[in-house]
Every structure is written in C-alpha cells, then in structure tokens.
Amino acid sequence: MTKEGSSQLNAMCVFCGSSLGTLPAYRQAAERLGRHLAEAGITLVFGGGHVGLMGFLPRLRSRREAGHRCDPEHLLKVESPFRDISELIVVDNMHTRKRRMFDLADAFCVLPGGLGTLDETFEILTWKQLHLHNKPVVLANVDGYWTPWMALIDAIIDKGFAQAGARRMFSMVDNVDDVLPCAFGEIGATWAGDSKLF
C-alpha cells in the first residue's frame, strides 16, 4: 500500500449494497454509474454478484469492457458470480478482497448499502486518515441516503473522537452524474490531513 495516488483515473472501485433497498432511485443510480464508467472507459472494480445494487453496476457493460470482480471463495458458494465481466478474481477471505480492490482502484465511489458497505467505506477512510493513500472517495447521496451518516461523522468530530480534517477525506454528491467529475477533480491531489492523528 502506497501513500501516493495515481495521476489518472483508470479504475474506480464501487462499494454498494447486496440488496436493492426500498427506492427505485438506488437501482437507477447503480445502473447510471455503471453506464458512466463504461462510456468513460474506466475499469469497474467491485465485489458483487448478480444480487442487489452490485448486480446492476456491470449490466450495461459488455465483456469487451474492462471490469474486475473480487470475491472470497466462501461467497462463491452462496452467490451466483457475474460472468459477463472481463476478470473474476477469487481471493481467500474478505480482508484480502478489500486489499485487492484497493490495489486495483484509483478512486472509490460509495452508493447506498448496508453493513458491508459501511465496513468497506470506514476502512478505506481509516487508511486515508493514517496517510496510507490519498485516493478520492466519493459518496453518492442518492435521495439523501448518506445524510444520517454525515451527521454521525459530524458527531464523532464534535465529541472529539476525530479531527475536523476527517470531513476532507471524502466528498459527497447528491447526483450520481457528479461522481466522475468529482473524482476527476480530486485525482492526483494531495490530502495533507492533520499532523495530529489522534
């Protein structure tokens, strides 16, 4: 793991739910982001199969369009793998999966999701807080989904358990159409963070 980020956006890792959620807007956002990535020629890195929002991300891509799906062996036993993608990477466990997805990606997008999505998001932000990388992290606040999460971040800062600079470790956009412009604007930028980590 290196602190330096890429100066180009060639691949984006997307974290999102293995469920569809209650609103059609979530599925539509996943489809739309997948289309934007394909049109821009950006490699999709994701960890899902045919289920939930993860299943909608690659559906508008063809086999000719690059995409990497990372999955631990135990999930392949319960999930049907998405075959219409250029590479299926099988790893031994969830920890290796997150590290492999990190290595493949130049930036991250977070769509609505559940506990697994929160786990992935907090880990990638923790690595950034520890100055292990400065890759863009963009949350797509579809229909206000991440607004309560932002309130939690503010509370953590207000109660003294994180520095104010934690708010600068990620960006939040209300429209999925703004994810790529936001990431392109941040790619290669240096996040200095706070000199005091704790």
- Spell out the per-residue pLDDT of the chain, length 198, in tens: 554 555 689 999 999 998 999 999 999 999 999 999 989 989 888 876 677 888 777 665 544 444 544 444 545 555 555 555 555 556 555 667 777 888 889 999 999 999 999 999 999 999 999 999 999 999 999 999 999 999 999 999 999 999 999 999 999 999 999 999 999 999 877 655 554 444
d(CA 185, CA 135): 11
Q: In Å, what is the CA distance from 19 to each residue of 24, 27, 36?
A: 12, 10, 22
**Contact, 79 vs 53, CB < 8 A?**
no
Strand, coil or helix: 162: coil
Q: State the pairing for strand pair 67-72/43-46.
A: parallel
Q: pTM value?
A: 0.82
d(CA 173, CA 184): 13
Q: What angle do CA 50, 56, 58 make, to 5 degrees?
A: 90
How far apart CA 97 and CA 70 sit, in angstroms, is 6
Q: Are 85 and 61 in contact (CB under 8 A)?
A: yes
